[in-house]
Amino acid sequence: MLNEEKTLQSHQIPPRKLGFSLVEAILALLIFSALISIGAYQIKDYQRQTEEKVALKQFEAKWNQALTTTYLKKVAGEISFDDRKINFTIGSKRDVLLLPRTLKAKFHETLNINNNGTTGPQTICFEANNGKTQYFYTVQMNWGVLIAKNP
């Protein structure tokens, strides 16, 4: 019996070692919050990239639709660019593509589409607000084919 009591007493944890100290708890919270903030930034960046890619895909689709419509209806059209929107005008019909707040057009001209669905050569540039990413499109001469040169 005396041996059992000695064994139990030797395995007991002293009361001062039962929990974390204040410094250990603060350090753990600091590391945890740093990891959370890094993850939140990466999610925001991913969301920005996704919004930009969706807007550019919509631009490509509307571009092709404008060329096809002018060819089939034998009516001229134009595409005009502002900072945050792109206007597609075919005959009397107008369609507007709004760009996300993270993307703006650096190309501020109006492209004319002939009634046979062709347009002149041009380079169109969009820039992300982060200042690092630029998206380029080249329009082939007379064909109007849009070629993406994006990262």
Least confident of 12-21, 41-50, 71-80, 99-108: 12-21
pLDDT by residue (tens digit) across 109-135?
899 999 888 888 889 999 988 778 899
- Would the pLDDT of 90 be above 60? yes
pLDDT by residue (tens digit) across 40-89?
778 888 888 899 999 999 999 999 999 999 999 999 999 999 989 999 99
- The per-residue pLDDT for 25 is 84
Does residue 16 lie in a domain region?
Answer: no
- Could you give the 3-state DSSP secondary structure of residue 29? helix
Does residue 15 lie in a domain region?
Answer: no
Least confident of 4-8, 30-34, 43-47: 4-8
Angle at 33 between CA 52 and CA 132, to 5 degrees: 25
Average pLDDT over residues 18-34: 83
- The per-residue pLDDT for 9 is 56
CB 99 within 8 A of CB 85: yes
Looking up residue 114, the CATH number of its domain turns out to be 3.55.40.10
Does residue 4 lie in a domain region?
Answer: no
C-beta neighbour count of 28 within 10 angstroms: 11
Does residue 138 lie in a domain region?
Answer: yes
- The per-residue pLDDT for 88 is 95
CA 43 vs CA 30, 49, 57, 103: distances in Å: 20, 10, 21, 18
Does residue 122 lie in a domain region?
Answer: yes
Does residue 128 lie in a domain region?
Answer: yes
Task: Give the C-alpha separation, 26 to 114, whole Å.
Answer: 68
User: Which pTM does this prediction carry?
Assistant: 0.74
Side-chain half-sphere of 115: how many Cα atoms within 13 Å?
A: 5
Among residues 84, 110, 79, 109, which one has the least CA distance to residue 98? 84
> How many structural domains comprise the chain?
1
Does residue 10 lie in a domain region?
Answer: no
Q: Select the more confidently predicted residue: 17 or 54.
A: 54
Does residue 113 lie in a domain region?
Answer: yes
- Would the pLDDT of 19 be above 80? no
Q: Select the more confidently predicted residue: 93 or 132.
A: 93
By residue range, what is the domain housing residue 83? 21-149
